[in-house]
Chain A
């Protein structure tokens, strides 16, 4: 889908090559993460793909076509572009921002309107509530959702994303990352994703290209980068705590257990008591008839509270994670709420099960023994 051949860039007045004979191939539907310290040439490489920056030497092929022979405007209309600073147009409403590329492509008005609403919903915004607002009326996380919707507007087969989640706080970032990965499973775009954060690279990438001073040091799957780093540079970049980083590679739904300590709203007190005794986390989850998580009951609650049914005994759920969250996300939520477990829900909010600290530990141990 995208092939870089001996790609080289030298900025005028600089001795050092910003990008040095880079060869890289990204398959269709793959997320390729370019990672490395600042000045390693990752952003320059990305900008050469949509010709915001012209190579000094070498070729770029998109779908087998040499991009240097294509009209840059036409090339860019078919490549979604998301940048760290978001770059929403402050004088246009959210709707108009998202409609930018469709308007450039002269789509009919009705089609643009429909597509805009569809996209806002896709990235988790309400078209009626947010569509007519200006970017300044949105939070940073919401703005970047709009930035992603805008890049996706004309359904480009390729997306270039330059540190798209770097400007938002840690919690919002991990949420946006998870949402983006879920979108990607549906949309199957070919993505070049630039980041300086190795954790993000491991989490987001199908393959990771580690760059240093314009050269490609290693190009591998995340698991390989962790287990077989090519040389000291990659090993240092990955850092010491690789076991924790492995938690980025596994998603909650992959290791959820059958046993989930969920009980219906009308469960009698005695039964709840038994279940709590059996449970390794001494807690049961209360679920309504539709399958939504309603509350939790711990040992303390059942001892102190009056009432005969689960409904009367339950307390508020401290927090949960979605089933596509990584084990690392789950671990941070557990540390945040100070419990040895976290309930898992799916994209629609339905209860899927519970992750415990023990399952995480088992996972880390089995990784270690597998090595």
Chain B
């Protein structure tokens, strides 16, 4: 109950950090979607390029988050930019991979029919490939978002702001209610995004009739 107490007393500060955290995630995932989907589309046209890009993304995701932050610090300094950049790099793999496989795995007959009927590449992409790959792309975005909520907490360590701050400060001040408040809110964000994105993914499946 100390936690509720703590939350009530420091409500405005916690909420500020909450929105900071949300902002960090939305901006990072937003950029990652823009870059990742375009990259994912481009690599469907070249198998060698696809392998290369996917390996790079895989390596990026394998780097431990604290090491990634350490590697970026010398170039971008302490603060929001470095944290966000790290999150973007982490979200790339699921989004690029799912965009790529979502498009590649469309039934060849469907693509052949579209080509045979005189659709140009752009029309095929916008009318056939992307709509059919959308549920898979959405699943990638969901994975990326949930993962980034957690890594975003670590990004607080290098001054990117967000709810991670409650945990780090709580640890150094031995203030358990502060730690738990931060942890609970981060979990709420993760679960919340997972539910909302999972729901929209299922909706897309129904609309796609596959």
Q: CB within 8 Å of B: which residues of A?
A: 50, 52, 73-77, 79, 81, 83, 85-91, 100-101, 104, 134-136, 147, 150-151, 160
List the A side residues contacting B116 at CB < 8 Å. 50, 52, 76, 79, 81, 83, 160
List the A side residues contacting B210 at CB < 8 Å. 90-91, 136
Q: With contacts A89-B128, A90-B210, A150-B117 known, is A104 near B123, CB below 8 A?
A: yes
A90 to B210, CA, bound (A): 7
If over half of B's interface residues share one DSSP class (helix, strand or loop), that class is named, otherwise mixed; here it is: helix
- Asked if A91 and B208 make an inter-chain contact with CB atoms under 8 angstroms apart, the answer reads yes
Q: With contacts A52-B115, A76-B115 known, is A91 near B107, CB below 8 A?
A: no
- Asked if A83 and B113 make an inter-chain contact with CB atoms under 8 angstroms apart, the answer reads yes
- Asked if B118 and A87 make an inter-chain contact with CB atoms under 8 angstroms apart, the answer reads no
In the complex, residue of chain B having the shortest beta-carbon distance to the beta carbon of A85: B109
Task: Tell me how far the C-beta of B32 lies from the nearest C-beta in chain A, rounded to whole angstroms.
Answer: 25
- Asked if A87 and B109 make an inter-chain contact with CB atoms under 8 angstroms apart, the answer reads yes
B120 on the A face (CB < 8 A): yes
- Asked if B112 and A87 make an inter-chain contact with CB atoms under 8 angstroms apart, the answer reads yes
- The interface size bin for chain B is 20 to 34
7 tightest CB-CB pairs across the interface, nearest first?
A87-B113, A85-B109, A76-B118, A81-B116, A77-B118, A87-B109, A134-B209
List the B side residues contacting A104 at CB < 8 Å. 117-119, 123
Q: Which of B38-73 contact A (CB under 8 A)?
A: none
List the A side residues contacting B207 at CB < 8 Å. 91
Task: Tell me how far the C-beta of B126 lies from the nearest C-beta in chain A, rounded to whole angstroms.
Answer: 12
Encode contact with A along B118-136: 1 for CB under 8 Å, 0 otherwise.
1110010000100110000
In the complex, residue of chain A having the shortest beta-carbon distance to the beta carbon of B128: A89
Tally inter-chain residue pairs, CB-CB below 8 A.
68
A101 to B116, CA, bound (A): 10
- Asked if B132 and A90 make an inter-chain contact with CB atoms under 8 angstroms apart, the answer reads yes
- Asked if A90 and B208 make an inter-chain contact with CB atoms under 8 angstroms apart, the answer reads yes
Task: Tell me how far the C-beta of A212 lies from the nearest C-beta in chain B, rounded to whole angstroms.
Answer: 25
Task: Tell me how far the C-beta of B160 lies from the nearest C-beta in chain A, rounded to whole angstroms.
Answer: 39
B35 on the A face (CB < 8 A): no
Task: Tell me how far the C-beta of B37 lies from the nearest C-beta in chain A, rounded to whole angstroms.
Answer: 18
A159 to B117, CA, bound (A): 11
Q: CB within 8 Å of A: which residues of B?
A: 107, 109-110, 112-120, 123, 128, 131-132, 207-210
List the B side residues contacting A75 at CB < 8 Å. 118
A265 to B4, CA, bound (A): 88
A160 to B107, CA, bound (A): 20
Q: With contacts A87-B109, A90-B132 known, is A135 near B118, CB below 8 A?
A: no
Picked from A86, A89, A134, the residue with its CB within 8 Å of the CB of B114 is: A89
List the B side residues contacting A147 at CB < 8 Å. 113
Given A87-B109, A136-B209, 19 additional A-B pairs, CB 8 A: A52-B115, A73-B120, A76-B115, A76-B118, A77-B118, A79-B116, A81-B113, A83-B109, A85-B109, A87-B110, A88-B110, A89-B110, A89-B114, A90-B110, A91-B131, A100-B119, A104-B118, A104-B123, A147-B113
- Asked if B109 and A77 make an inter-chain contact with CB atoms under 8 angstroms apart, the answer reads no
Query: Would you give 24 A-B contacts (Cβ < 8 Å), ordered by A?
Result: A73-B119, A76-B116, A77-B117, A79-B116, A81-B113, A86-B113, A87-B112, A87-B113, A88-B113, A89-B110, A89-B114, A89-B128, A90-B110, A90-B132, A90-B208, A91-B207, A91-B210, A100-B114, A101-B118, A104-B123, A134-B209, A135-B209, A136-B209, A151-B117
A74 to B119, CA, bound (A): 9
List the A side residues contacting B123 at CB < 8 Å. 104
A11 to B67, CA, bound (A): 50
A15 to B209, CA, bound (A): 43
